[in-house]
Amino acid sequence: MDSLIIAGASGHARVIASAARKTGLFSVIGYVDNELPQGRLVDGLPVLGGDGILPSLKQKISDLKVIVGIGDNALRESVVSKFVDADYATVIHPDAVLANDVQVGCGSFVAASATINIGVRIGCHAIVNTGASIDHDCTIADFSSISPGATLTGGVSLGAGGMIGAGAVIVPGVEIGEHSVIGAGAVVIHSIPKDTRWVGVPAHQISNS
C-alpha cells in the first residue's frame, strides 16, 4: 500500500481522497495546500503544509505518491510543473467501470460511476468525473477534464487542457481542440478548434478561451 498526498484540499481533492481510500491501494496521509494553515483537518486528514514541504516528505517517506486534486486544468498543470520529481499516483474509484484495455495515465483520476469503454486512451493528469461516460476508441489528452454526467460517444478526441462541462454530449468522431471549453449541457455535433468556448444545443461558439 503506497502513501498518498493530495495537492490541494478543495472539494475535488476531497473526492479524490475518498476514492483513494476506497481502493484499498493507498494510505492517504494528508493534503498540501498553500491557502490553509498547517494542521487544519479536512475530513479527518491533516493539511501537512504548503507545496514546499513535498521534497522533505519525499525524503522521509520512501513509497510516497502524489496526485494533484485541483479541478481547474491550467492550475493543475501549473502545480504539476512545480513537482518535477514527484511520483504520481493514478486513482480510479472502485465503482468506476473500465474495459480491460483502457489506458489511464499517471496522475489521472476516474471518479465513481464513470464508464469507460474499449479502446479508450486517457493521458496524464486528466479527470473523468462522477458518472461520466466515455464510449469506445476515445482519446483524452493530458490535463483535460470531463465533468459529471458528460457523454463522449465513440471515437471522440479531447485535446490537452480541454474541458467538457457537466451533462454535455459529444457526438461520434468529433475532435475538441486543446484548451477548448464545452459548456454544461451543450451538444457538440462537429469538431471544435482549439482555444474556444462553446455552449448550447447544438453548440455554438461564444468566445475564445
CB atoms within 10 A of CB 199: 17
Average pLDDT over residues 13-34: 97
- What's the grid cell of residue 26? 493507498
Mean per-residue pLDDT over the chain, rounded: 96
Strand pairing of 41-42 and 45-46? antiparallel
pLDDT band at 25 (very low <50, low <70, confident <90, very high): very high
Give the per-residue pLDDT at 209. Answer: 67
Helix (H, G, I), strand (E, B) or coil at 128: strand
What percentage of the chain carries pLDDT values higher than 90? 90
pTM of the predicted protein model: 0.95
Q: Per DSSP, what are the bridge partners of residue 115?
A: 97, 133
